[in-house]
Structure 1
C-alpha cells in the first residue's frame, strides 16, 4: 500500500506522518502494521485497513498536487470517498487521522459479516439482494459486490452457485455498505457533526449519488457517514464523470488503487478507447514496499507531464 514511497517522497511521507499523529495513541502501531513486510495478516482487519486506505489515498493526492497543477476532479471508492472529500477541502488533512480513528471506533463489532464479488451486472443481483443481504458496490458493468451477515451470505452463496454465477468471497470481516452498518453510520455521523464540514473547493464526484457533490450535501455529516450502510455506485459515478468530461481530449484519469483495479472497468469506455481520456496508474502491483514502487510513481508523474504537453506518445492504456 505505497509503503515504498514512505521516506522517499517528501510530501507523501509528511502527510502519512501527519495522519498517524492525528490518529492518536494507536497511530504509531498502525504505521508499524502498514510498514510490516508481507505476509501481513493484520491487514485483513478492516479496522486497520480502512484507515490506512484513507491515509494512503489522501497522501498520494497531496503528492500528486505538488506536480504541475493539482487534480481538478476527485472520485473515491468506499472509504476512498472520504479521502477524496479531504483532498477537495470538505475537511482538512489535520482532521483526517482523528476522523478515521473515530470511524473505526464507530464500526466496533457492528456489521460483522462478509462480502461477495460477483461477475454479473447489478440488476441481475436483485433476486439475491434480499433480507439482510444487499448490493454493496457496483464496481463495473459486470462487477457487483453483495454484503451481509455470515449466515444469510452463506445462503446467498449457495443460490449463486445454483444460478451458475462466478463469485469470490472477499477478505472482509464486515458487511460494508449494507443495512447492518446503519447503527455504526449513525455513530460516525455524530462525530462528523463536531467537524466544520465545508463545500468542496474542487469538483468532487460522489459514489453515493453518481454525480458531483452539491455544497448543501457536503456540509451534512450524514451524507458522508451514511455511505457505510449504502451502495457504492462507483461505476455509475465514473461513467457520469467520463460521459461529462471525457469527451474532450486532455482528461487524465489517475488510478490510486494499489492493484490498479479502480481503472480496470473504464478501459473499455469509449472515452478511453477513443483516446479522449488517458489512464495513468500511480502504483504498480507487485512492487509494494520496494524501491520499484517509487520508480513507478515517478514514471506516472512523467507520463502525466507528457500528456499535458500533448505528446503523441500518450496513447490511452488499452
Structure 2
C-alpha cells in the first residue's frame, strides 16, 4: 500500500447492541459536522426530538437506552452523524456496510433516502416495534450448525456475525431456556443489550403496514454501493424499490459475515467503523484479509464508554490512521468552546 494508491475505504455502521449511555456525546458541540448532523436529526424528529436528545445526553435516561424507542433512532443518528464527519474530511468511501439499523443509516449516507424521510421511517418503525411482545437477543460463541439443536418455537438465528459468533433472538422465556441449555453444553453465551427480539418472527405482526410508509418516499440508486447485510450482496435497484425489503428488516436475519466476505471479495479495503463501540471492528479483525494484513480496520470511537475526551481522542487517532493509510484528510477544526456541553455527572 502506498500513498499514491491507498486502500479504498469501506464504512461499517453498527446496529442494535452497540448502544450505551452518552455514546459519542463527547463530540457534540465539539465536532461541528457531527453536531450539525445530530441537530438535524433531532429537528427532523419533531416532538420526539427533544426527549431523544435529553435521553442521549443523560447519564440516567428517562427511558432506558436499550428500549427500542431509544436504541434504534439514536443508533441511526449517531451512525449517520459519524459517517458525515468522515465524509467531511474529504474521504470518499468505496462501499458502505451496515448492521441492522446501520443499513438504513448507510442508505442515507449513500443517497438512497433523504435524511428527513429516513428519520420519519425510523420513528414509524420504532413506534410499531414498541408494541411488540418483549424479547431479546443472545450472542453465542458457536456456528449456526452448532446452535441448530437448541432452536425451538420462536427462538431463531437472528444474526450471523462471524463463523463462530451467532446471535439468537426470541421471546425472553424460550431464549433464556436456550441459553441455559447452551451453557450446560459448554458454549459461551451473553445477552445482547436489547429489550426486543430483533430479527425474529416475534416482530412480524408489528411490521405489518410499514411497507406502505417505505413505498411513499422517493428512493435513489446508492453512491457509493451499499453492501446489504440482509442479502449479503450490494443493493440492487430491485431491492431499493421493494418496500417490503425495507419493512421486513427488523424481522429478517442479519448476515453480516457473509456480507463482509462479499465486500472483501471485491478487493482489500480500509474498514472504518463509524458508530459506538468497536463491535464490528472486532468481528472484521477475524477476517482472513485483515489477519494477513492486506485489509485494515480503524474504529472511530473507543471500545468502551468513557469521558468526553476519550471520544475526541479516538476520532483524532482514527483521522491520523486514515491519513497515514494514504488518504488526504481535510478535517474541519473543532469549536473551541462547546456550544452543547455534555452535562456533568449526576449524583
Q: Is 1:163 matched with 2:185?
A: yes
Match of 2:309 among 281, 291, 302: 291
Match of 2:232 among 210, 213, 219: 210
Give the match for residue 255 of structure 1: 273
Query: Are the structure 2 counterparts of residues 69 and 169 from structure 1 closer, same or farther at C-alpha, using a change threshold of 3 Å?
Result: closer
Q: Is 1:11 matched with 2:33?
A: yes
Give the match for residue 55 of structure 2: 33
How far apart, CA to CA, are the structure 1 residues paired with 2:138 and 2:131?
Answer: 20
Cα shift at 1:70? 2.2
Cα shift at 1:288? 4.3
Cα shift at 1:196? 1.1
Match of 1:150 among 155, 161, 172: 172
Q: Is 1:182 matched with 2:204?
A: yes
Match of 1:270 among 275, 288, 300: 288
Contact 2:78–2:275, Cα closer than 8 Å, also in 1: no
How far apart, CA to CA, are the structure 1 residues paired with 2:180 and 2:292?
Answer: 41
> TM-score by structure 2 length?
0.83
Contact 1:86–1:96, Cα closer than 8 Å, also in 2: yes
Q: What are the equivalent positions in structure 2 for 1:72-221 lying under 5 Å apart? A: 72-221=94-243
Contact 2:67–2:196, Cα closer than 8 Å, also in 1: no
> TM-score by structure 1 length?
0.91
Query: Are the structure 2 counterparts of residues 289 and 189 from structure 1 closer, same or farther at C-alpha, using a change threshold of 3 Å?
Result: farther
SS at match of 2:160: strand
Aligned residues: 306
Higher helix share: 1
Give the match for residue 4 of structure 2: none
How far apart, CA to CA, are the structure 1 residues paired with 2:34 and 2:261?
Answer: 29
Q: Which structure 2 residue ranges, 5 or more long, are not aligned?
A: 1-22, 329-347
Deviations 1:288-314 (A, max 9, x none): 45023112112211211120269xxxx
SS at match of 2:249: helix
SS at match of 2:113: coil
72-81 or 272-281, which deviates more: 272-281
How far apart, CA to CA, are the structure 1 residues paired with 2:305 and 2:193?
Answer: 21
Structure 1 consecutive aligned stretches of length 4 or more whose deviation exceeds 6 Å: none
How far apart, CA to CA, are the structure 2 residues paired with 1:101 and 1:289?
Answer: 29
Query: Are the structure 2 counterparts of residues 48 and 309 from structure 1 closer, same or farther at C-alpha, using a change threshold of 3 Å?
Result: closer
Give the match for residue 22 of structure 1: 44
Deviations 1:147-185 (A, max 9, x none): 111222232223223322211122321110001111222
Cα shift at 1:38? 5.7
Contact 1:199–1:219, Cα closer than 8 Å, also in 2: no
Contact 1:5–1:289, Cα closer than 8 Å, also in 2: no
How far apart, CA to CA, are the structure 2 residues paired with 1:289 and 1:18?
Answer: 24
Cα shift at 1:5? 0.8
| RMSD between superposed Cα atoms in Å | 1.8
How far apart, CA to CA, are the structure 2 residues paired with 1:95 and 1:294?
Answer: 30
